[in-house]
Structure 1
Amino acid sequence: MPEFPPAAHRGVSAAGVPQSGAAIAQAALVVIAVLYFARDLLVPLALAVLLSFVLAPIARALRRIGIPRVPGVLLAVLAAVAVIGMLGLVMGRQLAELASDIPLYQYELSRKLASVNASGGLVERAQEMLRGLAAGAERAAPQPVPSLNADAVRPLPVEVRLPDPKPFELLQNVLQPLLYPLATFGIVVVLVIFVLLYREDLRDRVIRLVGAGDLHRTMAAMDDAAYRLSRFFLAQTAMNAAFGVFITIALFFIGVPQPALWGIVAGLMRFVPFVGTFVAVGFPLLLALAVDPGWSIPLMVLVLFAISEALMGHVLEPMVFGHSTGLSPIAVVAAATFWTWLWGPIGLLVAVPLTVCLVVLGRHVKQFEFLEVALGDRPPLDPPETFYQRALAADADALEEQADDVLREKRLSDYYDEVALPALAMAQADALRGSFAPERLTALRARVAALIEDLEEEVEDDRPPQAAPAELDEAEEASRPADPPPPPEVLVPPGSVICLAGRGPFDEAAAGMLAQLLRKRGMGAVAAPAELLRGGDLVGLEPEAVRQAWFCTIEGGASAAASRYLLRRLRRRFPQAQVCALVVGVTAEGRLPDSLREEGALAVEGRLADVARAALRLAPAVAAEPAA
């Protein structure tokens, strides 16, 4: 299903939606009860809504070619009724033919089972085990007490014969089983016509229920959701119909009887997740076993469904829909179970479409966002939150896996800017509130440092993954950024650039990330803790060798006065260095960058890529200054 933009329309408030958890739970129980006890009313309504989503693009297309609205809607509905009626007639005729041949198929299946039994005795042993279990159950059951005069009284055989039914009774017996399905079908048709004719009025009423306070955003959300759902359901119906036609033709050439019946079943079972595939293949496979004296036709049926299902699920559907149904696998199974329990076989068929509608509702209505979180296939946590959670859980493998996934498409600096540093900002905020025990804070910092060290070895440079030149057009080729110039020789030796951490709990991680990126761009950068300014040794290097000094801090880790004090000490410790500052996570109220600029430092806010470019931009000026 095409992706629904989450941020553009989210935040629309619904009127009359419970706010507290207890109220939501009570409302859910009431809704489930209504869905169960009012299923005779709601099943036709749900079918009508889903069918209107399928027919809405057709009705719009007929209107665009000049057919008036009412005739266009009637024509689209009549075409759908004709198709459904034709499919019903074909299925009925094929079922009648199948029923007449069942004794022959039963004989052939019994013969094959006997041959399998003769080859290994497995079936016979299973039958003997079942007979033994049945005999044991009979012995365990209480035996009836014989009557004293059982020999004196013998029951007389009685045979009950019903009179031959009259013509009206015969007609009633034939039509009565069909009355409920035909009535339901007629109600669905009428409802579809009215939904298509009055869809604007229904949309306005839904807007009133969802939220009329923000009319523009609500209308945009409703139109976008309805348009995308219509396209998705129409495309899915067309794909499943084409799949059914393909299965029909293939089974015809393989030699399976009633191929049209099994093709229709296969197309319908495409709407049923997971279980539908086994149902679709089970009946033709059983029939192939009955009609083929050997095993070639059953094997061809298995190969046919295996290849066709794989192509549909992994090639054609992703190409047409762009992604998937938008549901997580667990949600698909849960939805199928839930709707089947509520509405029976009809619920199994409409489980995925109805659940997709619920997920779309959760993406566009703020109070129903929990539906998207619970049922959707999007990650429940943002990438920074995922990073933070995995670091807290001490899951080093998951951290590296997330880094590998991001680095397949983005640069290392983008990974740090968009994932790691925002996560460290959240961790630092928690640490300043006292949420961490000292040992856990130490372990978390060590875990992040180990990840940075691993990325030093795995990532060779900081260039983004680029397409091959043959895959780029002229505009893309012209818009590609040029490779940065190499740094001057004075900044190449190790220790010529120092990245000093502030006093925040995770400032050392920010300094380590910046030093790593500068090294990957050819600069001899090293990271150092704030304790260096108290007289520590810089890995054996002289302070005069440092030509660029970066003060690295995450907003909120220390006060502005403490940061300015460290910056002054940094300048005194490294008199030959250009003093710069990196401030991560600057908020709207943050004044730290301005405070550091007042101390004469070049303060860069935010992205590490900007810092790396600034470092290279300052490099010629550093090279022009004479060393002490």
Structure 2
Amino acid sequence: MRVFPGERPLLGNSEGAPLPDSRSELPPIIRRTEFVAFALAGLLLIAVVAVLYIAKAFFLPVVMAVVAGTMLSPAASFLERQRVPRAVGAVLIVVAMTTIVTFVFALIASPAMEWSSRLPELGAQLKAKLHVFDRPLALWSDLQSMLGGSEGLPSFQLPKIEWVQPTLEFLSPTFTEFLLFFATLILFIASWRDLRRGLIMNFSDRDARLRMLRILNEIEVHLGNYLLTVTIINVGVGVATGVVCAVTGMPNPAGLGALAATLNFIPIIGPIATFVVLVVVGVVAFPSIGGGLIAAAAFGGIAFMEGHFVTPTIIGRRLALNALAVFIALAFWTWLWGPMGAFLSSPLLIVALILKEHLMPSDGPQLPQA
């Protein structure tokens, strides 16, 4: 087609018809602003995690106190309705909680100290009883040598004593962290009503205030119910474990039951650790390996019933927690803050789900159930 000077060429095919607009058929394009927003959000998340990890000595006691204070706020409200000043009620609640925790840890610490003083003797007994596995290990060594692997029996060696002090340093907070935790907990419980009011009135829009009020109410109710329900369940697990240990003749059944109840507050890891402890104690305390595994096998049945039937039936009605989400949260917070992070993983996951439900509601059409 010839175009004369000063004329604009016609866009079209050879017959002069305009080309169809094909923009709707193009794939979606990520704009530069969206990419920058995603990158900034990722960098912000990395920075927050790094700060929480580096400043663990400050953030862990504070977050622990805030979560525990939110769980215990209904008890302070109950005492306030009984004409007990909230500040006095906060002190009474913290003193009662500290007394209970100290009593439980005393039950656990007494046999633990006794067994740690006899560690070389108990290690020799455990090593002698594990000679029953010499034959399977010899067969495994022969198989390795036939396949061209390294020869020789793998020898059983006890861990050295040097691991005790680093472990205690890892598990035990410092005095400053304890002081920060208790001070923050008492002040948080005592001033929770004013904090609620300040958080709500911080928004000028009425709808935003109502949303914040619903979020705070739901967090307080769910965390309080979670603490009460999980405590009752874990006390039941501890009592059942203690009874099983007493019936089977395990040493110090009260301490083992208290250990089972305490570790059961940590999902997944806690029951596994209790099972391992029962196996080791049973193998050392009983003359035969089969007799020493009875209590551990009974606890495995108790933990299975609790984890698959009791806890999902009770807690699942209030707030369903996905098993994968619980596992990922447990792994992340345990890596970040150790054992206390493992304890906080489920409450923090509950808070995150409540915030997601209110701040990002799914009002759109839902996919049909498979």
Distance 1:102 1:272, change over 3 A: same
Alpha-carbon distance in structure 1 between the residues aligned to 2:128 and 2:172: 41
Equivalence for 1:201: 194
Q: By how many angstroms is 1:79 displaced? A: 0.2
Q: 1:117 aligns with which of 134, 142, 161?
A: 134
Q: 1:38 aligns with which of 55, 60, 63?
A: 55
Equivalence for 2:108: 91
Q: Is 2:246 the partner of 1:252? A: yes
Q: 1:333 aligns with which of 318, 324, 327?
A: 327
Alpha-carbon distance in structure 1 between the residues aligned to 2:342 and 2:211: 34
Alpha-carbon distance in structure 2 between the residues aligned to 1:89 and 1:220: 40
Query: Which amino acid counterpart does residue 196 of structure 2 have in structure 1?
Result: R
Deviations 1:139-162 (A, max 9, x none): xxxxxxxxxxxxxxxxxxxxxxxx
Q: By how many angstroms is 1:75 displaced? A: 1.0
Deviations 1:564-611 (A, max 9, x none): xxxxxxxxxxxxxxxxxxxxxxxxxxxxxxxxxxxxxxxxxxxxxxxx
Q: Is 2:361 the partner of 1:386? A: no
Alpha-carbon distance in structure 2 between the residues aligned to 1:273 and 1:344: 13
Query: Which amino acid counterpart does residue 318 of structure 1 have in structure 2?
Result: P
Q: By how many angstroms is 1:281 displaced? A: 0.4
Q: By how many angstroms is 1:222 displaced? A: 1.7
Q: By how many angstroms is 1:195 displaced? A: 0.7
Query: Which amino acid counterpart does residue 183 of structure 2 have in structure 1?
Result: V
Alpha-carbon distance in structure 2 between the residues aligned to 1:186 and 1:220: 32
Alpha-carbon distance in structure 2 between the residues aligned to 1:303 and 1:179: 30
Distance 1:222 1:324, change over 3 A: closer
Distance 1:273 1:191, change over 3 A: same
Q: Is 2:262 the partner of 1:268? A: yes
Runs of 4+ in structure 1 over 6 Å off: 126-131, 176-179
SS state of the match for residue 174, structure 2? helix
Alpha-carbon distance in structure 2 between the residues aligned to 1:331 and 1:105: 40
Q: By how many angstroms is 1:205 displaced? A: 3.7
Equivalence for 1:429: none
Equivalence for 1:228: 222
Deviations 1:98-139 (A, max 9, x none): 1133333322322222123147734776999777699xxxxx
Distance 1:341 1:237, change over 3 A: same
Query: Which amino acid counterpart does residue 233 of structure 2 have in structure 1?
Result: M
Alpha-carbon distance in structure 1 between the residues aligned to 2:266 and 2:150: 33
Equivalence for 2:98: 81
Q: By how many angstroms is 1:342 displaced? A: 1.2
| Bigger RCO of structures 1 and 2 (CA < 8 A, at least 6 apart) | 2
Q: Larger Rg: 1 or 2?
A: 1
Alpha-carbon distance in structure 1 between the residues aligned to 2:44 and 2:55: 16
Q: Is 2:258 the partner of 1:241? A: no
Matches within 5 A, 1:275-290: 275-290=269-284
Q: By how many angstroms is 1:224 displaced? A: 2.5
Q: Is 2:57 the partner of 1:48? A: no
Matches within 5 A, 1:119-518: 121-122=138-139, 180-207=173-200, 212-214=205-207, 215-323=209-317, 326-366=320-360, 385-387=366-368, 402=370
Mean alpha-carbon deviation: is it higher for 19-28 or for 233-242? 19-28
Show structure 2 runs of 5+ residues with no match: 1-35, 155-168
Alpha-carbon distance in structure 1 between the residues aligned to 2:291 and 2:314: 32
Alpha-carbon distance in structure 2 between the residues aligned to 1:279 and 1:220: 38
Deviations 1:402-456 (A, max 9, x none): 3xxxxxxxxxxxxxxxxxxxxxxxxxxxxxxxxxxxxxxxxxxxxxxxxxxxxxx
Please tell me whether the aligned partners of residues 137 and 153 of structure 2 are also in contact (alpha carbons under 8 angstroms).
Answer: no
Mean alpha-carbon deviation: is it higher for 78-87 or for 309-318? 309-318
- Larger fraction in strand: 1
Alpha-carbon distance in structure 1 between the residues aligned to 2:197 and 2:55: 25
Q: By how many angstroms is 1:385 displaced? A: 4.0
Please tell me whether the aligned partners of residues 53 and 233 of structure 1 are also in contact (alpha carbons under 8 angstroms).
Answer: no
Query: Which amino acid counterpart does residue 218 of structure 2 have in structure 1?
Result: D
Alpha-carbon distance in structure 2 between the residues aligned to 1:178 and 1:333: 21
Alpha-carbon distance in structure 2 between the residues aligned to 1:352 and 1:88: 22
Please tell me whether the aligned partners of residues 207 and 218 of structure 1 are also in contact (alpha carbons under 8 angstroms).
Answer: yes
> How many residues of Structure 1 are paired with residues of Structure 2 in the alignment?
318
Deviations 1:18-48 (A, max 9, x none): x943443232222212211111101001211
Q: TM-score, normalised by structure 2?
A: 0.74
Matches within 5 A, 1:571-586: none
Q: By how many angstroms is 1:234 displaced? A: 2.3
Please tell me whether the aligned partners of residues 211 and 358 of structure 2 are also in contact (alpha carbons under 8 angstroms).
Answer: no
Q: 2:86 aligns with which of 51, 61, 69?
A: 69
Alpha-carbon distance in structure 2 between the residues aligned to 1:273 and 1:25: 28
Alpha-carbon distance in structure 2 between the residues aligned to 1:315 and 1:211: 46
Q: By how many angstroms is 1:90 displaced? A: 2.6
Q: By how many angstroms is 1:187 displaced? A: 1.8
Alpha-carbon distance in structure 2 between the residues aligned to 1:133 and 1:114: 12
Alpha-carbon distance in structure 1 between the residues aligned to 2:45 and 2:277: 38
Distance 1:331 1:178, change over 3 A: closer
Distance 1:131 1:104, change over 3 A: farther
Alpha-carbon distance in structure 2 between the residues aligned to 1:120 and 1:62: 62
Distance 1:53 1:237, change over 3 A: farther
Distance 1:248 1:26, change over 3 A: same
Alpha-carbon distance in structure 2 between the residues aligned to 1:93 and 1:263: 13
Q: By how many angstroms is 1:330 displaced? A: 1.7
Alpha-carbon distance in structure 1 between the residues aligned to 2:319 and 2:73: 19
- Larger fraction in helix: 2
Alpha-carbon distance in structure 2 between the residues aligned to 1:211 and 1:133: 74
Alpha-carbon distance in structure 2 between the residues aligned to 1:25 and 1:211: 30
Identity of aligned residues (%): 25
Alpha-carbon distance in structure 1 between the residues aligned to 2:107 and 2:67: 23
Query: Which amino acid counterpart does residue 335 of structure 2 have in structure 1?
Result: W
SS state of the match for residue 256, structure 1? coil
Q: By how many angstroms is 1:355 displaced? A: 1.8
Q: By how many angstroms is 1:282 displaced? A: 0.5
Query: Which amino acid counterpart does residue 31 of structure 1 have in structure 2?
Result: V
Alpha-carbon distance in structure 1 between the residues aligned to 2:128 and 2:363: 57
Alpha-carbon distance in structure 2 between the residues aligned to 1:281 and 1:311: 14
